[in-house]
């Protein structure tokens, strides 16, 4: 038996999954909740933008979860032996950079900076660098528009350089003490393989390409003149980032004897280059050409791949196009919706229609499932947290139209679910309009697994079958796939995915009559979407309410 | 002491008010809940459009409440003597027509039809005649467009001829048994004065003008050719409607000895012509030239008067312009919002945000009052029940824009209140655009009296002081004013109102800083209002969400 380990570093915890590389069977798993801060996040009551993590939690988490998963695998599978493990794969959140010293040691782990949040890992959802993000966007727009073309037109406060520049501006002591900054996804594999020193460190294609404007078309990371234009010391940092990046089929190095001893694993097994959770989640869901993987949670990531030849045009409005960020040899294309589950959570937790019990997700879902498409007369935009794809505009907000004096909570709940489905369809259409054909949709994440009503609505709205990834741990499974490849259990990703990944038997097929109604509603959605979302677009709204009433009356007839 | 009686027939009950004509002091009052049906309304479980009332309840109600009010006045005021009562005034809902026989007796009171709802009073909110309303509108649009110009462009299913024609179509037996149809507002004064026989009956200007397309410009009621075009028997009914109508300064007749005996009142005192509750409510609130009276309840009636000379142009989009319908010698102009309190009731009763307790009107009002104008980033349209003025379009629906993942119930509640205030401002502007200047706004009704937050928002949005009518029973008081005039206690309405009506000391003055913010929000409201409400209007919506965010950020700064 050949097994692979996937380590999945999430926002609040890390999970280890041990997988049989021959068939994807999940032999053991273990979760470790980060102990530092609140649910693993260091917060600042005075600044709601701040979100940091303690890298010590990452190390402790690797030890605890690998040991726990091994113990579980041993119990479940008498024949299991940790020596069967051929490799380790790692996915993390991102962009989550850490300042490190010239040996690659995080400043947070050094005595002098232990209690300074700026010396810790800057978690993906830290937005302290919003002013710097705007500054970077402005400069790039003027001087390097090509940088923005690959990342949706706006550089985000969640990304690498916004965070580093903000540290430079607000905590020069930490900035000056840092030799360089390293993504969590790069740092963890480097530590396990003893390659964390900046002159040995390998940076992954995924983080560099999606969050740090790194692209071979312009020689890797942004040039030092550009970065220096933001701040001379940021310009000087450029040379510490190196000239090359590596996809997930490459090893970051080999497990050191010290770590092998600690973890109870064979020394010298390869550790794959890291990548972000959504990207390896797409791998674990079986992504390949023609397959859209939707990772549906509080927000969505919509991932596709396309051959990395010259035939792919820039797809406007998607979050990123990066060679090798998902599968080696393919462009990884990332799109997404800024809020999906978060919109339903808002309705349930903030509005609490009918009180906590009557307004629960399950009660509302049950009632909403009884409604017919179009029956509520409602139509919503899914922009309560802005629009990531295809408008790339955080300064958009929610909209609901069609309310009467009899509109009920479950009708609004369903309208919100439908709105996210319309948003999902808009992303699919955008890919296809630019030549990226989508033959299959595979969904993963808690909502996809639990909410059959939502999946049926997605099928009915898009007119496409909705499949569900077989594994409930697609990110960790994707990391294990990378581990299986670098560990030699499979010759390439396609073979590893064919063996290890799959979809559930239950799928959701579009119902023709529903799809017909939703085609009408989608036209109205696009009228609102374009009218409110595209500054130059002036569209007639005069008929929207009446057309909704007509659809409603037909549904009720 | 000279006293006047106002009888106010509402939807569920009738109230009697005895008022000192010298100073408006309310000496005694009594309410009678109609016993028939559900809360006084005969319903049909198979047809939610049906709403009828039993005229026997009207008669019983007059007896009970007049006796009760006299008893209370006697207790409260030892010097009070029923012989001091100089007249009776009556207001009712409308259009609420009853089929009567050739002696003026309602068919509902005859044995043969006692259990037939079609023989009863067709309550204002009966919508069974919606198809007939459309038919009447169509025919008038083609052949008598002038009829529609005075009633907002659409003939309603709530109105006189829609109901009669529906009875003709669906219950010919009742229709054929009826000699004519009489408004509740005409029938009640006629009964008290023994003038209910059709050859003596006087029909009031208010009901005829606002609900039956009666106007001296075309010789009174619609001509029999027009009505005959709808149905020959409706055409034949025309001659039973008479050629003249009467304003509220005219007596319907004198109290019969029989009724005087029953009621304990002096025989022979005049009973004033009836009018609708909102119109006499405006009188009781002190309406005069330049004063807008807003009667704020589940919906609003917005009443103004203008000199009945040739200077008044048609004001497009208002519900009705009728000479003498409010004050003799003035055009009565009626506008209104299809839902105000009903929108807040919808939010509280249907959505129940946070459960029944947390989502009560008082809790939401208290929390919403702490918010600053613009702070929520929300903007709503007040169209959950369509738009009566200025768009005259029932097929419009609600809209809410600006939701984020943190929007709270009280923010939506406030946005809904603000939406109704923007709707109120739109009506004021419409009047003034067509030369009807408004110097003062007097509010009455439960919401105006109880909800200080709402009144302050109305002041801040309109930039006008909001005054509150002193009496809590403005409709009954208005009827008493009419009674005082026909009873000779005052020479005219102006004198009677000056003596008997007034406003509360507490008024709501606009706060300049708030008004400034609301001026910005109103521009956005108008963009949504015109864009969604006017079919031909195509407006850019692209900036709406961003402008709301800017206003929000400024309010939070």
CB-facing half-sphere around the CA of B49: CA atoms within 13 A: 11
The rounded distance, in Å, linking the Cα atoms of B444 and B382 is 20
Q: What is the mean pLDDT of residues A258-285?
A: 97
* pTM score, whole prediction: 0.92
Percent of chain B surpassing pLDDT 90: 91
Confidence band, pLDDT 50/70/90 cuts, at residue B457: very high
Give the tens place of pLDDT for each residue, B117-174.
999 999 999 999 999 999 999 999 999 999 998 887 889 999 999 999 999 999 999 9
Give the tens place of pLDDT for each residue, B279-311.
999 999 999 999 999 999 999 999 999 998 877
Determine the pLDDT at residue B267.
97
Instruction: Give the gap in angstroms from C-alpha B260 to the nearest C-alpha of chain A.
Output: 45
> Which of A356, A383, A545 minimises the CB distance to B355?
A356
Determine the pLDDT at residue A35.
98
Q: What is the mean pLDDT of residues A396-405?
A: 96
Determine the pLDDT at residue A154.
86
Determine the pLDDT at residue B49.
87
Taking the Cβ of residue A400 and every Cβ of chain B, the question of whether any pair is shorter than 8 Å is answered with: yes
Decide if pLDDT at A46 tops 90.
no
Chain B positions touching A382 (Cβ under 8 A) are none
Determine the pLDDT at residue B379.
98
Determine the pLDDT at residue A153.
83
Instruction: Give the gap in angstroms from C-alpha A47 to the nearest C-alpha of chain B.
Output: 15
Confidence band, pLDDT 50/70/90 cuts, at residue A236: very high
Decide if pLDDT at A318 tops 90.
no
Question: Across the interface, do B542 and A549 touch by the CB < 8 Å criterion?
Answer: no
Question: Across the interface, do B346 and A544 touch by the CB < 8 Å criterion?
Answer: no
The rounded distance, in Å, linking the Cα atoms of A273 and B133 is 74
What are the Cα distances from residue B27, in Å, to A399, B2, B81? 52, 12, 11
Closest CA in chain A for residue B546: A395
Chain B positions touching A403 (Cβ under 8 A) are 346, 384, 397-400
Q: What is the mean pLDDT of residues B455-465?
A: 98
Determine the pLDDT at residue A233.
98
The mean predicted confidence, pLDDT, of chain B is 95
Give the tens place of pLDDT for each residue, B532-556.
999 889 999 999 999 999 999 999 9
> Which of B351, B385, B543 minimises the CB distance to A535?
B543
Determine the pLDDT at residue A337.
95
Chain A positions touching B337 (Cβ under 8 A) are none
Determine the pLDDT at residue B280.
98
Question: Across the interface, do B397 and A403 touch by the CB < 8 Å criterion?
Answer: yes
Determine the pLDDT at residue A49.
87
> Which of B356, B531, B545 minimises the CB distance to A541?
B531
Determine the pLDDT at residue B151.
82
Q: What is the mean pLDDT of residues A299-308?
A: 94
The 3-state DSSP composition of chain B as helix, strand, coil percent (nearest 5) reads 45, 20, 35
Give the tens place of pLDDT for each residue, B387-441.
989 998 888 999 999 999 999 999 999 999 999 999 999 999 999 999 999 999 9
Closest CA in chain B for residue A364: B351
Confidence band, pLDDT 50/70/90 cuts, at residue A312: confident
Residues contacting residue B89 through CB under 8 Å, at least 6 positions apart: B4, B5, B6, B7, B248, B271, B272, B274, B280, B478, B479, B480, B481, B482, B483, B484, B486
Decide if pLDDT at A75 tops 90.
yes
* Full DSSP string of A372-385: PTTTT--EEES-BT
Give the tens place of pLDDT for each residue, A168-203.
999 999 999 999 999 999 999 999 999 999 999 999
Determine the pLDDT at residue B242.
94
Instruction: Give the gap in angstroms from C-alpha A416 to the nearest C-alpha of chain B.
Output: 12
User: Which DSSP symbol is given to B349?
Assistant: I
Instruction: Give the gap in angstroms from C-alpha B48 to the nearest C-alpha of chain A.
Output: 14
Give the tens place of pLDDT for each residue, A122-149.
999 999 999 999 999 999 999 999 999 8
Q: What is the mean pLDDT of residues A434-454?
A: 95
Neighbours of B438 (CB within 10 A): 18
Give the tens place of pLDDT for each residue, A541-553.
999 999 999 999 9
Among candidate residues A121, A166, A115, A127, the one with its CA nearest the CA of residue A48: A127
Taking the Cβ of residue A537 and every Cβ of chain B, the question of whether any pair is shorter than 8 Å is answered with: yes
Closest CA in chain A for residue B527: A541
Asked if A426 and A390 touch (Cβ cutoff 8 Å), the reply is: yes
Where do the domains of chain A lie, and which CATH numbers do they carry?
3-276 (3.30.420.40), 287-340+374-397+416-468+511-557 (3.30.420.40)
Taking the Cβ of residue A549 and every Cβ of chain B, the question of whether any pair is shorter than 8 Å is answered with: yes
Taking the Cβ of residue A356 and every Cβ of chain B, the question of whether any pair is shorter than 8 Å is answered with: yes
Closest CA in chain B for residue A397: B402
ipTM above 0.90, yes or no: yes
Determine the pLDDT at residue A319.
78
The rounded distance, in Å, linking the Cα atoms of A193 and A204 is 15
Question: Across the interface, do A538 and B538 touch by the CB < 8 Å criterion?
Answer: yes
Chain A positions touching B350 (Cβ under 8 A) are 405-409
Determine the pLDDT at residue A357.
80
The rounded distance, in Å, linking the Cα atoms of B426 and A384 is 29
Decide if pLDDT at A460 tops 90.
yes
Question: Across the interface, do A541 and B539 touch by the CB < 8 Å criterion?
Answer: yes
Confidence band, pLDDT 50/70/90 cuts, at residue A392: confident
Question: Across the interface, do B408 and A548 touch by the CB < 8 Å criterion?
Answer: no
The mean predicted confidence, pLDDT, of chain A is 95
Q: What is the mean pLDDT of residues A159-163?
A: 97
Give the tens place of pLDDT for each residue, B216-255.
999 999 999 999 999 999 999 999 999 999 999 999 999 9
């Amino acid at each position: 038996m050949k097994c692979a380990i996937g380590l999945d570093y999430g926002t609040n915890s890390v999970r280890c999954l041990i997988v049989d590389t021959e068939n994807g069977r999940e032999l053991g798993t273990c979760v470790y909740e980060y102990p530092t801060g609140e649910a693993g996040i260091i917060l600042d009551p005075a600044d709601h933008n701040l979100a940091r993590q303690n890298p010590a939690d990452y190390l402790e988490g690797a030890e605890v979860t690998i040991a726990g998963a091994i113990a579980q695998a041993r119990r479940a599978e008498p024949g299991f032996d940790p020596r069967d493990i051929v490799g380790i794969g790692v996915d993390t959140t991102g962009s989550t950079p850490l300042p490190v010293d010239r040996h690659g040691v995080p400043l947070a782990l050094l005595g002098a900076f232990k209690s300074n949040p700026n010396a810790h890992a800057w978690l993906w959802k830290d937005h302290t660098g919003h002013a710097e993000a705007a500054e970077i966007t402005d400069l790039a727009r003027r001087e390097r528009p090509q940088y923005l073309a690959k990342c949706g037109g706006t550089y985000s406060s969640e990304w690498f350089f916004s965070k580093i520049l903000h540290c430079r501006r607000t905590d020069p002591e930490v900035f000056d003490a840092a030799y360089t900054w390293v993504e969590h996804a790069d740092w963890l594999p480097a530590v396990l393989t003893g390659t964390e020193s900046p002159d040995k460190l390998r940076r992954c294609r995924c983080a560099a390409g999606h969050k740090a404007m790194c692209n071979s078309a312009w020689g890797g990371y942004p040039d030092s003149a550009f970065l220096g234009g933001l701040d001379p010391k940021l310009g000087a940092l450029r040379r510490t980032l190196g000239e090359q990046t590596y996809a997930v089929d490459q090893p970051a190095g080999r497990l050191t004897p010290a770590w092998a001893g600690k973890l109870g694993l064979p020394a010298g097994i390869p550790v794959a280059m890291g990548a972000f959770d959504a990207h390896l989640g797409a791998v674990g869901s079986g992504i390949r050409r023609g397959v859209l993987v939707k990772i549906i949670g509080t927000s969505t990531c919509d991932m596709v791949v396309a051959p990395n030849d010259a035939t792919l045009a820039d797809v406007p409005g998607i979050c990123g196009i990066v060679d090798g960020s998902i599968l080696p040899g393919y462009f990884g294309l990332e799109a997404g919706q800024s809020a999906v589950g978060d919109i339903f959570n808002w309705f349930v937790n903030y509005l609490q229609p009918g009180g906590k019990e009557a307004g629960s997700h399950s009660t509302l879902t049950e009632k909403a499932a009884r409604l017919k498409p179009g029956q509520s007369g409602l139509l919503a935009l899914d922009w309560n947290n802005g629009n990531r794809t295809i408008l790339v505009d955080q300064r958009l907000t929610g909209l609901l139209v069609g309310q009467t004096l009899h509109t009920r909570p479950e009708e609004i709940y369903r309208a919100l679910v439908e709105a996210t489905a319309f948003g999902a369809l808009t992303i699919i259409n955008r890919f296809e309009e630019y030549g990226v054909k989508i033959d299959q949709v595979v969904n993963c994440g808690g909502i996809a697994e639990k909410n059959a009503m939502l999946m049926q609505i997605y099928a009915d709205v898009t007119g496409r079958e909705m499949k569900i990834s077989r594994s409930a741990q697609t990110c960790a499974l994707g990391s294990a796939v990378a581990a299986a490849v670098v560990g030699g259990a499979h010759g390439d990703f396609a073979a590893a995915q064919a063996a290890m990944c799959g979809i559930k038997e239950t799928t959701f097929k579009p119902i023709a009559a529903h799809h017909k109604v939703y085609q009408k509603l989608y036209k109205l959605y696009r009228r609102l979407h374009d009218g409110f979302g595209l500054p130059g677009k002036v569209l007639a709204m005069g008929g929207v309410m009446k057309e909704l009433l007509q659809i409603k009356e037909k549904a009720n007839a």
